[in-house]
Amino acid sequence: MTIENLHQLFLKYPQISIDTRNIQHNCIFFAFKGQNFNGNKFASEAIRNGAAYAVIDEEKYVKGEAFVLVDDVLKSLQQLARYHRNYCNAKLIALTGSNGKTTTKELIFSVLSKKFKTIATKGNLNNHIGVPLSLLSIKKDTEFAIIEMGANHRKEIEFLCNIAQPDYGYITNFGKAHLEGFGGVEGVIKGKSELYDHLIVNKKFIFLNADDTIQEKKLRSYPSKFGFSTSDANYYRINYLGAHPFVKLEAEKTEINTQLIGSYNFTNCCAAVLMGKYFNVPLEDIKNALEAYLPQNNRSQIIDKKEYHIILDAYNANPNSMEAALINFMNFPGSEKTVFLGDMFELGEKAAEEHQKIVDLVAGMKFDKVFLIGKNFYKTNSDFTKFATFDDLSSFLKSNKLKKGNLLIKGSRGMALERILDYL
């Protein structure tokens, strides 16, 4: 079946499923393969559970007209997504970066939704499967699609750009994330910059943080751009008014008081202000959108539970975001501060060095109590209480009550440190 014909089916049945445990009535099931599973084997089950069609790539599983045979299911989904993206009229904004992608995406969505019919990547569906699924959520009347792109190795952003065909792009920052796959910080910069490279070659528009010297230098002579700065008069001026604990900023003499903690969220807010300004969203609407936004899904969430005031930042972690969270917590109002830090993943040969740097940083901050969780933190040289596994921590928490006060919980997604809440 051609992609054009597959797209006609999709227009009739515009729901996609990749998991037989979550089949929606009249969806199209795409039978993916992995190292330990073969979705083709479950195609008949998908049809029985209500799928209108099943896209498969092994002929022996064809059981009738509801089975669509293609050469490669994953490639077909990606080709379908690109075709659909070009079929629709939405302007597409692509986001990538080491830290803050999802929060920035949500803030931009909040701002642009004030004026336009806007969709955005749900959760963190930002990889070679998630981006196509996000593109297929674009409707014919969608005006803006905000698509988050994640990567842990070179050429991945380039590949996603070739599928998504962005009209605009923004990179949040370059940091020490996925060092193992990128081969170091220089690899991160080159990998994330593939978004700007794609936009430049195709003469598309770029948004930038002009206070980021790497971005500003790369784009200085590129004409199709709009940037923000706290000091450079050549760019749109946004002033940082502090984060005590919530980020406060000012644009065109309008003060914006957000519900986001941490100075590291300032530039995320600036990106949303910048795009709202460029697309003529009234400044009052921009202000209202940012002030109403509440962080969710373990990302710098403020949670009050009994006698504890908790900053839950357990969605992800790398050395840059870990340092920023700790500095923010050190300046957080109140006393009795307890810190839970979980391992940072995908640091490769730098893992031991980067975890020790964080421990050394914490040692100078004089928190009341520090708990380190995970095999990397367990190996560090420190006097803090350490646990090799979460199970070891849970055993401790069952028999030791924490002092009331402020808690910071920070770690990579794989550590799932939000489970600590169950013991408070």
306 and 350: one domain?
yes
Domain assignment of residue 77, yes or no? no
Domain assignment of residue 178, yes or no? yes
Q: Mean pLDDT, to the nearest integer, of 112-120?
A: 98
Q: Mean pLDDT, to the nearest integer, of 97-123?
A: 94
CATH code assigned at 287: 3.40.1190.10
- pLDDT value of position 299: 77
Domain assignment of residue 81, yes or no? no
Q: Mean pLDDT, to the nearest integer, of 36-40?
A: 91
142 and 287: one domain?
yes
Q: Has residue 137 got a pLDDT over 70? A: yes
Domain assignment of residue 195, yes or no? yes
Q: Mean pLDDT, to the nearest integer, of 181-198?
A: 85
45 and 118: one domain?
no
- pLDDT value of position 293: 96
Q: Mean pLDDT, to the nearest integer, of 329-351?
A: 91
- pLDDT value of position 291: 97
Domain assignment of residue 78, yes or no? no
Integer-rounded Cα radius of gyration of the chain: 23
Rounded to an integer, what distance in angstroms lies between the CA atom of residue 227 and that of residue 216?
A: 9
Q: Mean pLDDT, to the nearest integer, of 46-57?
A: 96
179 and 325: one domain?
no
Domain assignment of residue 109, yes or no? yes
| Residue that finishes a domain, picked among 255, 274, 292 | 292
Name the pLDDT band for 377 (thresholds 50, 70, 90): very high
C-alpha dist (Å) from residue 240 to 269, 270, 271: 10, 9, 13
Q: Has residue 361 got a pLDDT over 90? A: yes
| Residue that finishes a domain, picked among 267, 292, 317 | 292
| Residue that finishes a domain, picked among 292, 317, 333 | 292
Name the pLDDT band for 352 (thresholds 50, 70, 90): very high
- pLDDT value of position 332: 84
359 and 230: one domain?
no
Q: Has residue 343 got a pLDDT over 90? A: yes
**What are 386-416's pLDDT values in tens digits?**
999 999 999 999 999 888 899 999 999 999 9
Rounded to an integer, what distance in angstroms lies between the CA atom of residue 357 and that of residue 369?
A: 18
95 and 134: one domain?
yes
Q: Has residue 274 got a pLDDT over 90? A: yes
- pLDDT value of position 177: 63
How, if at all, do strands 67-69 and 91-96 pair?
A: unpaired
Rounded to an integer, what distance in angstroms lies between the CA atom of residue 190 and that of residue 282?
A: 35
Rounded to an integer, what distance in angstroms lies between the CA atom of residue 226 and that of residue 216?
A: 11
Domain assignment of residue 338, yes or no? yes
Q: Has residue 323 got a pLDDT over 80? A: yes
Q: Has residue 17 got a pLDDT over 80? A: yes
Q: Has residue 179 got a pLDDT over 70? A: no
Tell me which of 95-109, 173-187, 284-298, 312-326 is least confident: 173-187
Rounded to an integer, what distance in angstroms lies between the CA atom of residue 362 and that of residue 366?
A: 7
285 and 188: one domain?
yes
Contact 297, 366 (CB under 8 A): no
Q: Mean pLDDT, to the nearest integer, of 109-132?
A: 95
Domain assignment of residue 206, yes or no? yes
160 and 214: one domain?
yes
pLDDT more than 90, % of the chain: 78
Instruction: Name the domain count of the chain.
Output: 3
- pLDDT value of position 178: 65
Selection from 120, 109, 91 nearest residue 272 by Cα: 109
pLDDT more than 70, % of the chain: 99
Q: Has residue 259 got a pLDDT over 70? A: yes
- For the chain, the 3-state helix, strand and coil shares in percent, each to the nearest 5, are 40, 20, 35
Rounded to an integer, what distance in angstroms lies between the CA atom of residue 229 and that of residue 240?
A: 10
Please state the length of the chain: 424
383 and 415: one domain?
yes
Q: Where in the sequence is the domain holding 122, given as residue range(s)?
A: 88-292
Q: Mean pLDDT, to the nearest integer, of 343-362?
A: 94
- pLDDT value of position 290: 98
Q: Mean pLDDT, to the nearest integer, of 356-373?
A: 95
123 versus 179: the higher-pLDDT residue is 123
Name the pLDDT band for 176 (thresholds 50, 70, 90): low
Q: Mean pLDDT, to the nearest integer, of 129-158?
A: 94
Rounded to an integer, what distance in angstroms lies between the CA atom of residue 393 and that of residue 374?
A: 10
- pLDDT value of position 184: 75
Mean pLDDT of the chain: 93
How, if at all, do strands 405-410 and 337-342 pair?
A: parallel
- The angle at the Cα of 223, spanning 218 to 229, to the nearest 5 degrees, equals 65
110 and 251: one domain?
yes
Q: What token pair was written down for 202?
A: 């195709």
Q: Has residue 166 got a pLDDT over 90? A: yes
Q: Mean pLDDT, to the nearest integer, of 188-196?
A: 90
253 and 310: one domain?
no
305 and 287: one domain?
no
CATH code assigned at 16: 3.40.1390.10
275 versus 37: the higher-pLDDT residue is 275
165 versus 330: the higher-pLDDT residue is 165
CATH code assigned at 345: 3.90.190.20
Burial class (CB in 10 A: 0-12, 13-18, 19+), 200: middle
Please state the pTM of the whole predicted model: 0.87
